[in-house]
Amino acid sequence: MKRSLWVVFILVGLSGCASPYRQGLEPDRSGDLVKAKVYANLSDTELDAQYPVQQTTAVGGGALGGLAVALVDAYVNSSNESEAEDAIAKLKQAMGPEALKLAYQKQYQLLMEAMPELRGRPVTVLEKAPKGGAKGLGLAPEEIGLVLTPGYSLTVSKRRLQVSLVAELYQKPGGNKAKTRKPKLMYRNRFVYQSDALEAVDSMPSPEEVERRIAEIRAKYAELPKDSLARNKAQNKRNRALKKASDRLPQAMIDAKQSAKWLDDDANALRQHMHTGVQEVFAMMAFDVKLQLDKSELKKTKIVRAGEQRQWVRLVTPGSGGVLVSLEKSDALEVPNTTNGTVYLGPY
């Protein structure tokens, strides 16, 4: 059952700070895009903070690799470990190790069509984060650089996929001290696509899982201590464990089963939302740069664009003010909360 959008309306930011995230491009600087060098920042090798850091070697490259790791780990945790190789092979076949770059390059062409200012601009792929941040881009005095950083993550509930794009426009100052001065941030915003939610998995164990639990418990206590006191303690532990064999699954197992659902049907839902999400975040970026919103429009929740099933919403919450998100009309943005797991930003 979907959570009512009116249940939780908490002012919580994606970055945790009080100032708006979006820094608007001044109207008289819109011509800067024509002169910008474009950087595709593919250096992120982990998921966003919504998922624990994984230790397994990434299947793909960049942020997509992190997502692949999470899904493979979940698949292994919710099934037999002998199926790990099959899970990895399935994911490689469905997504491909170069999927992030291919998706990025393809959608970049759509961005060129939506933003004529960027046509013909050179593109530099950053596979490693530049040292010193924007200063490491190597911009010449008064040179302008547009950094585009994609990201992919499952939400806290593991039922939704979020595709994000951070766009930042920098200019290297001129003058005598140009070499030592950091590039100035001219524009910044974050764009987030959230998929519709997968069906929630059953939090109760299946009959097969109950049988497996019982078998594991009986195997664990197959040999009881000879000492009567220790034997009684072991028997009591065994009996308590047997009574709990049909109890609700641990949250970690539920999360694993839910994450593994993204691999069903050869990961078709995952691939579809990845493709649509990348297209949406690029479209929102083009819209945001061209619109030149003034600050007064950012002080209230605003539905920027509404379609039959999805709508674009500009956030007003502290730390994320100005961020554009693409949501299902009946859904709310799911973000992580360090205290109790999930927060739904709404209503919209």
Inter-CA distances, 262 with 64, 225, 235, 255, 294, Å? 14, 45, 40, 12, 40
* Mean pLDDT in residue range 207-236: 92
Cis amide bond preceding 347, omega within 30:
yes
Is residue 119 in some structural domain?
A: yes
Question: Is 90 found in the same domain as 234?
Answer: no
Per-residue pLDDT tens digits for 103-121: 556 666 666 666 667 776 7
How many other C-beta atoms can be found within 10 angstroms of the C-beta atom of residue 220? 12
Instruction: Label residue 230 by pLDDT band (50, 70, 90).
Output: very high
Give the residues across from 337 on adjacent strands.
341
Give me the amino acid identity at 170.
Y
Question: Is 328 found in the same domain as 238?
Answer: no
* The dihedral formed by the CA atoms of 331, 333, 337 and 340, expressed in degrees to the nearest 10: 0
Would you say 317 and 12 are in contact if contact means Cβ atoms under 8 Å apart?
yes
Number of structural domains found in the chain: 2
Is residue 283 in some structural domain?
A: yes
Q: Which residues form the domain of 229?
A: 207-243
The pLDDT of residue 3:
33
Strands 302-306 and 333-337: unpaired
* Residue 209 burial (C-beta neighbours within 10 Å; 0-12, 13-18, 19+): middle
Instruction: Label residue 236 by pLDDT band (50, 70, 90).
Output: very high
Is residue 5 in some structural domain?
A: no
Question: Is 223 found in the same domain as 80?
Answer: no
Compute the mean pLDDT over every residue in the chain, rounded to the nearest whole number: 73
- Positive or negative: CA dihedral 104, 270, 4, 345: negative
> How many Cα atoms sit within 13 Å of 154 on the Cβ side?
28
* Residue spans of alpha helices (H) in the chain: 62-77, 84-95, 99-114, 207-220, 228-243, 251-260, 264-291
Question: Is 305 found in the same domain as 191?
Answer: yes
The residue behind tokens 């839902």 is 269
Per-residue pLDDT tens digits for 142-183: 888 888 888 778 888 889 988 888 899 898 888 776 666 889
Instruction: Label residue 44 by pLDDT band (50, 70, 90).
Output: low
Is residue 20 in some structural domain?
A: no
* The dihedral formed by the CA atoms of 278, 280, 286 and 290, expressed in degrees to the nearest 10: -160
